[in-house]
Amino acid sequence: MSDVSGRIEELKRLIRECDYHYHVLDESLIPDVEYDQLYRELRNLEEAYPDLATADSPTARIGGVVAEGFTKVTHSQPMLSLGNVFSRQEIEAFVERIETAVEGSVSYVCELKIDGLAIALHYQSGELQWGATRGDGYTGEEITSNLRTIRAIPLQLRAPETIEVRGEAYLPHASFTRINHERMEAGEPLFANPRNAAAGSLRQLDPGLTAKRGLAFFAYAWVTPSERVATQAEALTQMAELGFPVNPKWKLCHTVEEIEQYIEWAYGVREQLPYDIDGVVIKVNEFAMQSKLGFTAKSPRFAVAYKFAAEQGEARVLDIELSVGRTGAVTPTAMIEPVSLAGTTVSRATLHNEDIIRDKDIRIGDLVVVQKAGDIIPEIVRVVIEARPEGTVPFAMPTHCPVCSERLMREEGEVALRCVNPGCPAKRVEAIIHFASRGAMNIEGLGEMVAESLYQSGLVQDIPDLYELTQAQLLLLERMGEKSADNLVRAIAASKAQPLERLLFGLGIRLVGEKAATTVATHVGDIDGLLTATVEELQSIPEIGPKMAQSIVDYFATPAARERIARLREQGLRMTALRPKAVASQGEQGPLAGKSFVVTGTLSTLSRADAEQQIVQAGGKVTGSVSARTDYLVAGEKAGSKLTKAQKILADNPDSPLRILSEEAFVALLAESATSD
């Protein structure tokens, strides 16, 4: 028993350490697979010995449903908002006010203003007790069970501190895109921006739902007085040491010029950041000075928010175009007069769906306010009603598919209108584009235009037709030269080696995104596992819900899908997962067992890391330098000294086992080894 509890403690410590490195130091301590293994071992032990399971365990992030709604809590100190400034003059005025009040030199901490929601977190002897939203600033809602699901929020600190910290819960762009994509596929209304999506996610009564959203957190305020922390700079450093994620991009400034340089820098990098910021927060560094400056009724005098100007403009709606997506969903897009927003020219704005057009009453001919939503896709904020020309009519969605003229359907509870004709050309072309896309089979050179002309020419009606294309056929297409035709044939052939997860994603099954495809493929292992899986089986896979399980089973039940798979199988596609669960550590076994590889140069169909991973999966070994004992040198484009060395070894010793493989030969070898195991 004490062995078990010792191991549990060790696992908790290891996982906590990994989480800390990942969320605070922004680096991975161990590969994901190993992390998953540790996590699983801990969960299994805790299941076997329920007495040893504790609330601070990394496995205990998701708890029960809050049936009654959230309770109100009073904040230890009011959670105020900041005064806003918008110009250089206003910053100068802020600094001047402070420097006259404190009579002396002042240092300031500048931080990014993360666009999320303010959260307070309470720790007792290092353990997370409870957390709350800002609410009206005086009382907030206690949302501990939801906050616990945010992996960036430590359940246990690295020292037994009793403190309150505050910070911003936010939704990274990657999570936002994924959620809206899932919602679009499910016909649910989309979130307008990451901030709204974060707010909605924190208000879920079921923490399991919050957990799925992928929220993150940055700590920015140390609330409980402490002798060790006398400045904001120290607070940020100490919080990171305690295990909180602290945004590393803060800066200590001493002059207005330095503050302005920071703002300019932040404005410049904001589009590259993986989360939204809406400005910069400037805080007096010393806490003693902060107290001296005090508060107004609404906000502290020692800090201000410099807000970036909203990126809005006005333009006329010239037309509303309809496009039919892969799943048949009909999406309207407004074509607008070109207008310059934040340095780029915008001529289209997404309308998401019919409801949005109706709610905002957007009509062709209207003057509208357009805005870059979190700098992602421009959207229409509102119609300038005063400027509506005479004779406009409310926009009506068509009753029939704009491409194939089939009647459109709307499923119960869905917002999106769909074309349900499986033969709709728009859906077919979109399906081919999706299949070839980077996250799926990654067929370079097969974009929108080529897919469209392959379909129009009758060469490709369905995915398997791709694998029967010849260079001669491709040359018949407009704007297709010999070189690109040759490249395309090669890229299509190379995609045969893509693992099952990419194929599964590429098939474009409703609700099945990239991540879910990987999870499912890893669990079922190969295509036969997929073809025979039942809803129950699929649903038992972590993170796969009943709707998705049903969607997968429905897909593979159709004769068209079965025929598609049969043809792809015949054409020699790999159809096994990269890391099947059952054979997680193939290690020394596998078709390439005992063979050593060196990969050099640039590969065009897969990254070097992917290539190396596939070799290892097949049991092979990867080394860094070529020697007489190397079995294969995989030489990509622009291979240099390693290739020269291999050629020399072969010249000196023609009997050497060493073989030099082109990328094509390598891909063929991988495909061969995948079918032989």
Catalytic residue annotation: 113
Q: 123 CB contacts (<8 Å, ≥6 apart)?
A: 129, 157, 161, 162, 163, 164, 165
Which tokens go with 469?
A: 């294309």
Distance from C-alpha of 253 to C-alpha of 106, rounded to nearest angstrom: 9
Q: In this structure, are residues 569 and 499 in contact, taking their beta carbons and an 8 Å threshold?
A: no
Interface size with ligand IVH, residues (CB under 6 A): 13
DSSP 8-class letter at 231: B
Residue 563's SS3 state is helix
Cα→Cα distances 377→113, 277, 353, 380, Å: 21, 16, 15, 10
What angle do helix axes 2-23 and 32-48 make, rounded to 10 degrees? Answer: 140
Q: Which of 46, 142, 161, 168 binds ligand IVH (CB under 6 A)?
A: 168
| CA pair distance 39, 59, nearest whole angstrom | 7
In angstroms, give the least distance from the CB of 117 to ligand IVH: 6
Pick one of 44, 71, 77, 81: the residue that binds ligand IVH (CB under 6 A).
81
Q: Determine the Cα–Cα distance for residues 99 and 89; give it in Å rounded to an integer.
A: 15
The minimum distance between CB 84 and ligand IVH, in angstroms, equals 8
The dihedral over CA atoms of 508, 509, 510, 512, expressed in degrees to the nearest 10, equals -90
Stretch in the footprint of ligand IVH (CB under 6 A) among 106-114, 392-400, 450-458, 522-530: 106-114
Distance CA 491, CA 493 (A): 5
Binding part of the chain for ligand IVH, among 76-84, 139-147, 234-242, 655-663 by CB under 6 A, reads 76-84
Angle at 310 between CA 260 and CA 218, to 5 degrees: 65
Query: Residue 348 has which token pair?
Result: 């289209």
Pick 245 or 506: Cβ nearer ligand IVH: 245
| CB of residue 93 to ligand IVH, shortest distance in Å | 18
CA 386 to chain centre: 40
Determine, following the binding rule CB under 6 A, whether residue 276 of this chain makes contact with ligand IVH: no
Q: How far is the CB of 207 from ligand IVH (least distance, A)?
A: 22
The verdict on 324 binding ligand IVH (CB under 6 A) reads no
Among 118, 324, 368, 599, interactor with ligand IVH by CB under 6 A: 118
- Structure tokens given for 420: 């349900």
Stretch that binds ligand IVH, among 24-32, 75-83, 318-326, 361-369 (CB under 6 A): 75-83
DSSP per-residue string spanning 564-621: HHHHHHHTT---B-SS-GGGTT-TT-STTTT-EEEEESB-SSS-HHHHHHHHHHTT-E
> Using CB under 6 A, which of 113, 326, 579, 595 touches ligand IVH?
113
80 binds ligand IVH (CB under 6 A): yes
Segment near ligand IVH (CB under 6 A); pick from 54-62, 107-115, 185-193, 351-359 = 107-115
Dmax of the chain from CA atoms? Answer: 86
Q: According to the binding rule CB under 6 A, does residue 417 interact with ligand IVH?
A: no
Residue 164 binds ligand IVH, judged by CB under 6 A: no
Q: Are 132 and 118 in contact (CB under 8 A)?
A: no
**Is residue 300 a contact residue for ligand IVH (CB under 6 A)?**
yes
Kindly identify the residues of this chain, within the stretch 204-243, that bind ligand IVH according to CB under 6 A. Answer: 220-221
CB of 301 to ligand IVH, least distance (A): 10
- Across the strands, what pairs with 83? 304
Per rule CB under 6 A, is residue 114 in the interface with ligand IVH? yes
In the complex, minimum distance from the CB of residue 372 to ligand IVH, in angstroms, rounded to a whole number:
20
Nearer to ligand IVH, 194 or 499 (CB): 194
Shortest Cβ distance from residue 280 to ligand IVH (Å)?
A: 8
If the CB atoms of residues 127 and 260 are measured against ligand IVH, the closer one turns out to be 260
* Cα 442 to Cα 452: distance, rounded to the nearest angstrom: 17
Closest alpha carbon to 128 in 41, 60, 203: 60
**Is 305 one of the binding residues for ligand IVH (CB under 6 A)?**
yes
Distances in Å between the Cα of 535 and the Cα atoms of 168, 505, 539, 547 are 39, 18, 6, 9
Q: Which is nearer to ligand IVH, 150 or 305 (CB)?
A: 305
**Smallest distance, Å, CB 56 to ligand IVH?**
27
Closer to ligand IVH at the Cβ: 294 or 423?
Answer: 294
Are 459 and 473 within 8 A, CB to CB? yes
Q: Bridge partners of 637?
A: 602
Candidate ranges 108-116, 229-237, 362-370, 562-570; the one touching ligand IVH (CB under 6 A): 108-116
Q: Least Å distance between CB 145 and ligand IVH?
A: 21
* Residue 49 or 138 having the CB closest to ligand IVH: 138
Q: Which of 11, 15, 82, 639 lies at the binding interface for ligand IVH (CB under 6 A)?
A: 82
Compare residues 221 and 368 and give the one whose CB is closer to ligand IVH.
Answer: 221
Note whether 307 and 85 are within 8 A (CB): yes
Q: Is 77 in the site for ligand IVH (CB under 6 A)?
A: no
Dig out the tokens for 431 from the structure.
């399906």
**Site residues (CB under 6 A) for ligand IVH?**
80-82, 111, 113-114, 118, 168, 220-221, 281, 300, 305
